[in-house]
Structure 1
Amino acid sequence: MEGRGIEGRAGCDAGPVTTDDLLRTVRASIAGRDPVDGREAASRARALAELDQLRSPFDRHADAVHVTGSGVVLGPEGVLLLRHRLLGIWVQPGGHLEPGETPWDAARRETAEETGLEVRLAGAGVPPPLLHLDVHGAAHGHTHLDLRYRLAVVGDPTPRPPSGESQEVAWYRSADALELADPGLRGLLVALEAAR
């Protein structure tokens, strides 16, 4: 693992951190996560094992297995879901990290890009709390170590996805979200509903 700098972005100005620092931070947040179900427990174990082996876990071009960041957007309207353009499944917005980006900043950026909403990280601190994680197969033979962070909308909650992004983006109440959502997200939705 090289020690090049990574800048904190998108309102998480903790200053530059090295890739090694980011790896330690991400690993600690995953290890400290209390899984909501068996799927998340298996994902936690797999993610920790992969992080111990991958040379560049934050670089999607370095290996088919890599870290991604997703935003779970919750509000009075419910939970925000979108239909994935390539896979046709209903998921939370998110995607690959840009060079020098943290997973939580990727979650915020990808959510804004995919939905047209202005969002902020809802958890306090740097890094913000890890809300959920899921390891799953993705398009192009990739495996995503998907780290999910809670986001809140700033301003108008009406999704306005730009052209080139999925146009199927909407708010869903708990029962409808549970019916639609990909299995990798259902455990979190059940846990969130139980905590209400």
Structure 2
Amino acid sequence: MTAATASRQHLVDLVDNICPWDETERAHRQTVLDWLAGDAPIHRTAKPDVPDPHLVSYFVVLDETRLEVLLVAHRKAGLWLPSGGHVEPGEDPWQTVVRECREELRVAAAPSRLPGLSGDRPFFVTVTRTRGAGPHTDVSLWYVLGLPRSAIVSYDAAEFDGIRWVRVDEVGDEPPDALDPHLPRFAAKLLSAVRPLGGSS
């Protein structure tokens, strides 16, 4: 087995092990598995949209005590999003999280260890058409990091207009045209996984 084949099989295993939250995620997961089963390139080689689609790692920073998630105001997208970035050729998606967390939030990535979450494996998967210049399709693997609010003291101001914390159970109350379109569904899945730990409030 070549390195490229092994890398693609590893991605298949990561995606196949994601337990879909709803029919939308089930359909997205199948779309990604079908994409990986072919021979289309999967890593971005030229900005912003070559090839289309290509692979992205999102990471959602969760304050595990407050049950709040960190959102960033992404300049190019014009949306509140989780942090993240494009997976480079030869890079494991978790390595992308580690690299981008350091670059964007100036802090070391720490996978959430809460029961029901996935540690250094993806928790959620989406297929999304981007907005703005050079629209294309992002195949995104969503990871959950466990970091307290006090750990985030800086961010990449060239990429983000700002950052803010939102309670997981209030993400769905945000204006939908201001968010990544899948963020409320992600928050619902996350809340379902951690609710026994946080109680009913």
Is the pair's TM-score, using the shorter chain for normalization, greater than 0.5? yes
Residues 128/162 of structure 1: CA separation in 2 closer, same or farther (3 Å cut): closer
Kindly indicate whether the alpha-carbon contact (under 8 Å) linking 1:108 and 1:151 is maintained by their aligned counterparts in 2: no
Residue equivalent to 1:136: 128
Match of 1:149 among 108, 118, 143: 143
Residue equivalent to 1:41: 26
Residue equivalent to 1:105: 95
In the aligned structure 1, how far is the partner of 2:69 from the partner of 2:148?
15
- Unaligned runs of at least 5 residues, structure 1: 4-17
SS at match of 1:119: coil
Kindly indicate whether the alpha-carbon contact (under 8 Å) linking 2:169 and 2:187 is maintained by their aligned counterparts in 1: no
In the aligned structure 1, how far is the partner of 2:74 from the partner of 2:162?
8
Structure 1 outlier segments of 4+, above 4 Å: none
Q: How does 1:64-143 map to 2 (within 5 A)?
A: 64-75=52-63, 76-77=65-66, 78-122=68-112, 128-139=120-131, 140-143=134-137
In the aligned structure 2, how far is the partner of 1:118 from the partner of 1:54?
34
Instruction: Give 1:123 deviation, angstroms.
Output: 5.7
TM superposition score normalised by structure 1: 0.79
Instruction: Give 1:101 deviation, angstroms.
Output: 1.4
Match for 1:65: what amino acid?
A: P
2:144 counterpart of 1:163: no
Residue equivalent to 2:191: 193
Deviations 1:52-77 (A, max 9, x none): 23432134445111111111211134
Kindly indicate whether the alpha-carbon contact (under 8 Å) linking 1:70 and 1:108 is maintained by their aligned counterparts in 2: no
CA RMSD of aligned residues (A): 2.6
Match for 1:73: what amino acid?
A: V
Residues 60/122 of structure 1: CA separation in 2 closer, same or farther (3 Å cut): farther
Residues 111/55 of structure 1: CA separation in 2 closer, same or farther (3 Å cut): same
SS at match of 2:88: coil
In the aligned structure 1, how far is the partner of 2:52 from the partner of 2:83?
20
TM superposition score normalised by structure 2: 0.77
